[in-house]
């Protein structure tokens, strides 16, 4: 988040090396890294019948997180694939409705997905489209393999089909409903989408023959489907019985797709076509390598990935996926997102408001695999301000500020202030809580690894934030601003700063898969070389020092905001997009940015009406405590004095609203 950049103020160059201390810790044998080369991560390929939404982004960010985390742990030669699914009746109809050729329609929407992922720092190694020649070749070879092996046969299909879901449904998965015109219709129980009765002669896959093999796959691999809620769901589907699956549509009904080899009257079923993308990127059918991998999917497409896809692979003589990680959906302000309700979250808009790191952090922080997450801008602003700006940003600004760290160094750790023989600080001036912080730092890599490796990202972030909060409390207890005034307390001050900076270093390394830009700038500010930011570098108190990096001010990017339409999101964006030359606690920075941006709208004129409008905005912001708790500010005298240098701000400073809050 850019707010943090304004806190990384360059204060000097001289650096003292960190003394080697007795707390240096190495990973236990149970946590040592295994050979992770060749790891594969796949998002679902996204349907291009409409522009991307926040759910698409969540799938991509989750997969990007997993890929980045395995690279952090030393993996090399990895594949992270995403892309777009561009065949099917739904796309055929969407292109007709848009008055465009299907290929042109797909090209345009596919570019939007690429643009979204690039802006969100989703760093894929392969972006596949099902209209590519390499994929069409793979699909045809795969079909021929299944057909020659006797797993595909021509037959008669009669039943329900959902165009929206691109899936065939048995009677047990269909129910009656009433549409907006009061007409009785049939809909899918799972999705609520309209279904139509279909009678066709097409090709079917012998899914019924794979019931026992699928059950064995699940039972022999407890991590085959994660989390356990969805594992049990897949078990239930299999135990309920599997029927043969239609894997083609009549060409007269579906033209936009890959023709069945040897039968131009039929088009390959869109899901069989789409699922094969995962092995296309591995080189199938020529020089396939790396398979199997980890699939990240939403719960609405779990059946296709956890039943149909493993069965298809088994029929082709290939291994099923290593693991299918299934996540839930997102609501908006506790309501299901829908175009009719007008509450579909536009991810591009949210990226502009909260930045890539901010949006990634919120999705991974609040997203829980087994339960739907709720999205609201107010919630995003609160989470980011409390955790990234206040908890992390303020801590960093304190220990790199000129007042406490005038030489811009990573000071040494003095062992005598944390003696091993001392019973929790009885004579050294440290408390039980201080030792608890060191214990938490010792355990942090392994605890976070356990959560991150199982995609419980929010739990890992809980642990990181807990350490940062403890470090903030540690700072408050030891009051380094007082220690800095007493030369006799120099060693104690250095130890306090070292413990806090070590907390920031470990947190920064672990945050890299979540907020890559923020973590990179944080680690650069601490002077941590790019070569020493891996999981293997998480040894407790092992960092031997280095020059602190310079802060990256954002003052050149300051933007004026239209005060007549000022919103909470605008306030948050102002905070994260604008930097200051001086280092203040975050709440003061928020106020300073607020004032300077509001005054910039006056265009240098002393307009009483403008000032009154600004005053009203500020009073409202304070009373509602949006997005930071401005109502409890205690701005120090140097801040008020700085207001006097700006005639408009000095006029503003005399207003009653400032006096009301003791400003």
Pairing of strands 263-268, 248-250: antiparallel
- Name the DSSP letter for residue 627: S
pLDDT, tens digit (0-9, with 9 covering 90-100), for 435-469: 899 999 999 999 999 999 999 999 999 999 999 99
Q: Is residue 516 part of a domain?
A: yes
Q: How far apart are CA 192 and CA 340, in angstroms?
A: 14
How far is residue 89 from each of residues 85, 298, 329, measured CA to CA in Å? 12, 21, 24
Nearest to 245, CA basis, from 144, 318, 167? 167
pLDDT number for residue 337: 74
Q: Is residue 271 part of a domain?
A: no
How far is residue 294 from each of residues 70, 283, 291, 326, measured CA to CA in Å? 12, 17, 9, 10
pLDDT, tens digit (0-9, with 9 covering 90-100), for 125-137: 999 999 999 999 9
**SS3 (DSSP) at 465:** helix
Q: How far apart are CA 50 and CA 106, in angstroms?
A: 10
Residues 397 and 528 in one domain: yes
pLDDT number for residue 160: 84
- Name the DSSP letter for residue 630: G
Residues 405 and 522 in one domain: yes
CATH of the domain at 466: 1.10.730.10
pLDDT number for residue 46: 95
- Name the DSSP letter for residue 334: T
Q: Is residue 409 part of a domain?
A: yes
Contacts (Cβ under 8 Å, ≥6 apart) of 580: 6, 553, 555, 589, 592, 593
How far is residue 213 from each of residues 319, 344, 434, 617, measured CA to CA in Å? 12, 40, 54, 65
pLDDT number for residue 351: 95
pLDDT number for residue 192: 81
Q: Is residue 645 part of a domain?
A: yes
Residues 395 and 459 in one domain: yes
Residues 406 and 526 in one domain: yes
Q: From 513, 537, 561, give the residue that closes a domain.
A: 537
Q: What is the length of the chain?
A: 663
Residues 580 and 645 in one domain: yes
Are the CB atoms for 201 and 250 separated by under 8 Å? yes
Strand segments, DSSP code E, in 330-403 are 330-332, 335-336, 373-375
Question: Radius of gyration over alpha carbons of the chain, in Å?
Answer: 29
Residue with tokens 């790191």: 357
Q: How far apart are CA 283 and CA 291, in angstroms?
A: 10
How far is residue 601 from each of residues 225, 561, 588, 638, measured CA to CA in Å? 54, 7, 20, 25
Q: Give me the helices (H) in 374-456, please.
A: 377-383, 394-400, 432-453
Residues 412 and 465 in one domain: yes
- How many domains does the structure of the chain reveal? 2
Q: How far apart are CA 208 and CA 643, in angstroms?
A: 76
Q: Is residue 442 part of a domain?
A: yes
Nearest to 431, CA basis, from 393, 476, 386? 476
Residues 471 and 596 in one domain: no
Are the CB atoms for 503 and 417 separated by under 8 Å? no
Q: From 490, 520, 537, give the residue that closes a domain.
A: 537
Residues 516 and 619 in one domain: no
Q: Is residue 574 part of a domain?
A: yes
Are the CB atoms for 347 and 53 separated by under 8 Å? yes
Residues 467 and 606 in one domain: no
Residues 505 and 419 in one domain: yes
- Name the DSSP letter for residue 194: B
Kindly report the number of other CB atoms within 10 A of residue 250's CB atom: 14
Residues 522 and 578 in one domain: no
Q: From 537, 555, 590, give the residue that closes a domain.
A: 537
The domain of 649 spans 570-659
Q: How far apart are CA 121 and CA 363, in angstroms?
A: 14
Mark the ranges of the chain whose per-residue pLDDT is less than 70: 1-38, 338-342, 420-428, 540-663
Q: Is residue 16 part of a domain?
A: no
Residues 474 and 532 in one domain: yes
Q: Is residue 513 part of a domain?
A: yes
């Amino acid at each position: 988040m850019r707010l943090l950049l304004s806190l990384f103020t360059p204060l000097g160059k001289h650096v003292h090396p960190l003394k080697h201390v007795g707390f240096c810790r190495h990973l236990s044998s149970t946590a040592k890294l295994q050979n992770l080369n060749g790891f594969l991560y796949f998002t679902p390929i996204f349907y291009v019948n409409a522009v991307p939404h926040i759910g698409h982004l969540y799938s991509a960010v989750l997969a990007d997180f997993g890929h980045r985390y395995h690279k952090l742990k030393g993996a090399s030669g990895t594949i992270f694939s995403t892309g777009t699914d561009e065949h099917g009746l739904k796309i055929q109809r969407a292109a007709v409705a848009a008055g465009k050729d299907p290929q042109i329609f797909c090209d345009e929407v596919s570019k939007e997905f690429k643009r979204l992922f690039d802006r969100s720092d989703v760093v894929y190694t392969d972006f596949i489209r099902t209209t590519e020649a390499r994929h069409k070749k793979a699909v045809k070879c795969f079909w021929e393999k299944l057909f020659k092996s006797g797993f595909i046969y021509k037959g008669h299909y009669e039943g329900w089909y959902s165009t929206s879901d691109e899936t065939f449904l048995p009677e047990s998965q269909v129910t009656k409903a009433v549409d907006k015109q009061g007409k009785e219709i049939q809909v899918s129980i799972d999705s609520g989408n309209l279904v139509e009765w279909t009678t066709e002669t097409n090709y079917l896959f012998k899914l019924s023959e794979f019931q026992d093999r699928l059950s064995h796959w699940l039972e022999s691999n407890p991590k085959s489907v994660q989390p356990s809620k969805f594992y049990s769901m897949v078990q239930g589907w299999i135990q309920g019985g599997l029927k043969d699956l239609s894997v083609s549509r009549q060409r007269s009904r579906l033209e936009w797709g890959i023709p069945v080899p040897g039968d131009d009257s039929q088009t390959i079923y869109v899901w069989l076509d789409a699922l094969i993308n995962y092995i296309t990127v591995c080189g199938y059918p020529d020089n396939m390598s790396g398979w199997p991998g980890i699939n990240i999917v939403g719960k609405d497409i779990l059946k296709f990935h956890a039943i149909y896809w493993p069965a298809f692979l088994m029929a082709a003589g290939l291994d099923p996926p290593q693991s299918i990680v299934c996540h839930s959906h997102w609501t908006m302000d506790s309501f299901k997102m829908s175009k009719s309700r007008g509450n579909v979250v536009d991810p591009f808009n949210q990226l502009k408001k909260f930045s890539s790191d901010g949006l990634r952090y919120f999705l991974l922080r609040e997203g829980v695999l087994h339960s739907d997450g709720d999205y609201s801008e107010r919630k995003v602003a609160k989470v980011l301000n409390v955790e990234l700006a206040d908890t992390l940003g303020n801590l960093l600004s304190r220990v790199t500020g000129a007042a406490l760290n005038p030489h811009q160094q990573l000071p040494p750790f003095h062992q005598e202030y944390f003696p091993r023989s001392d019973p929790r600080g009885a004579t050294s001036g440290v408390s039980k809580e201080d030792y608890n912080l060191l214990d938490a730092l010792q355990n942090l890599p392994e605890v976070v690894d356990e959560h991150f490796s199982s995609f419980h990202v929010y739990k890992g972030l809980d642990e990181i934030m807990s350490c940062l909060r403890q470090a903030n409390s540690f700072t408050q207890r030891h009051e380094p601003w007082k220690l800095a005034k007493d030369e006799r307390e120099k060693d104690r001050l250095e130890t306090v700063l070292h413990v806090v900076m070590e907390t920031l270093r470990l947190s920064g390394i672990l945050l890299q898969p979540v907020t890559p830009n923020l973590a990179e700038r944080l680690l650069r500010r601490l002077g941590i070389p790019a070569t020493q930011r891996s999981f293997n570098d998480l040894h407790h108190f092992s960092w031997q020092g280095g020059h602190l990096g310079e802060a990256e001010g954002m003052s050149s990017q300051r933007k004026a905001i239209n005060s007549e339409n000022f919103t909470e999101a605008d306030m948050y964006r102002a905070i994260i997009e604008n930097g200051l030359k001086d280092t203040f606690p975050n709440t003061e920075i928020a106020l300073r940015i607020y004032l300077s941006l509001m005054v910039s709208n006056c265009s240098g004129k002393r307009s009483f009406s403008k000032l009154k409008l600004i005053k009203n905005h500020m009073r409202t912001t304070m009373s509602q405590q949006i997005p930071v708790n401005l109502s409890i500010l205690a701005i120090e005298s140097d801040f008020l004095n700085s207001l006097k240098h700006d005639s408009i701000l000095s006029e503003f400073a005399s207003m009653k609203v400032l006096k009301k809050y003791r400003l």
